Amino acid sequence: MAAIPILLYNAYGGERLLVPVSLKDGEGRLGFVKALIDTGAPNTMLFENVLEKFRRLKAVGFSPPKYSTLGGANFERKTIGNITICLRDDADNVIEIEHEGQVGVSYNPQVAKSNPLEMILGLDFLIAHHAVIDLKNPAKPVLVITE
Amino acid sequence: MTQSLEISDFDSFTNDLRWLSDNIETLRPEYHNRYVLVKNCKIVLSDSNYENLLNAAIHQKIELATAVIERILPANVQLLL
């Protein structure tokens, strides 16, 4: 069991639950992304701006293709293979969780250009790790997970 | 050592996110609809185009791996999924 400090993040026109995530792939460390905790999203997903930020990541389409619609915008979900999601707990341990990485790629340049999201931690991740979002102390919200 | 380095990177990244969240209203008039790159609790780069921002960061040898990059939304826009 681990308690991951999370943030009530205010940059999207209201408070959203955000967790800092460090990503690794088979070649090692990639870097940090801001991950939105979204209980309404079935899939954990990165977005194409992360492919631009960490340029060695390559996305491959599924056959047949898979799609997600977010806020009315269509994204094709592509795989980047297994990645490691690294989270820091409240005792300063880094918890590493293997996950099949998927990237949402939009074919609408306006959506691709304006999407500020980097990653969504969706229900698949939250269920797999028996997550509890604890907002009892709004100044110190935590995501409790089972590794 | 690797663990302690990673923890300090977590601290920096989290502090930059918190700083941006806490100061979004004062930053918005200057940066709205622009991407900003935050390091050490200050905006070090901004551009209306994400790719241009990344290229400028690479050109200036700013480490992207630990940088917070955010698009500052207009005040009347709320991002929903």
**pLDDT at residue B78 above 90?**
no
Q: Which two tokens stand for residue B31?
A: 């940066």
Mean residue pLDDT of chain B comes to 92
Q: Which of A71, A88, A116 sits opposite B7 (nearest CB)?
A: A88
Residue A136, chain B, CB below 8 Å: the answer is no
Residue in this structure with the two tokens 């639950």, named with its chain if needed = A17
Predicted confidence (pLDDT) at residue B45 exceeds the cutoff of 80: yes
CB-nearest partner of B79 from A13, A40, A92:
A13
CA distance A19 to B22: 16
CA distance to partner chain B, nearest, from residue A129 (Å): 21
Average pLDDT, chain A: 94
- What's the token pair of residue A31? 């870097």
Q: Concatenate the DSSP letters of all residues of A63-119 into one string.
A: EEEEEEEETTEEEEEEEEEEEEEEEE-TTSPEEEEEEEEEEEE-S-HHHHHH----E
Kindly list the structural domains of chain A, giving each domain's residue range(s) and its CATH number in brackets, ordered by start. Answer: 2-145 (2.40.70.10)
Q: Count of A–B CB contacts within 8 Å?
A: 93
Give the residue numbers in B contacting A (CB under 8 Å), as ranges.
3, 6-7, 9-10, 13-14, 17-18, 20-22, 24, 35, 49-51, 54, 64-73, 75-81
List the single residue in B with minimal CA-CA distance to A15: B21
CA A94 from centre of chain: 16
Residue B5: the pLDDT is 62
What is each CA distance from A62 to A66, A73, A100, in whole angstroms? 6, 19, 13
d(CA A35, CA A126): 13
Q: What is the pLDDT of residues A90-144, one digit of tens each?
A: 999 999 999 999 999 998 888 877 889 999 999 999 999 999 999 999 899 999 9
Q: Determine the distance in angstroms separating the CA of B81 from the nearest CA of chain A, rounded to an integer.
A: 5
Instruction: Determine the average pLDDT of the residues in A25-35.
Output: 96
Confidence band of B2 (pLDDT split at 50, 70, 90):
low
Residue A31 CB neighbour total at 10 angstroms: 18
Spatial distance between the Cα atoms of A62 and A92, rounded to a whole number of angstroms: 37
**Contacts with B45 from chain A: Cβ below 8 Å:** none
CB contact under 8 A, B80 and A71: yes
Nearest to A53 among B21, B64, B77 (CB): B64
The candidate with the shortest Cα–Cα distance to A110, out of A77, A59, A68, A73, is A73
Percent of chain A with pLDDT over 70: 100
Residue B66 confidence (pLDDT): 96
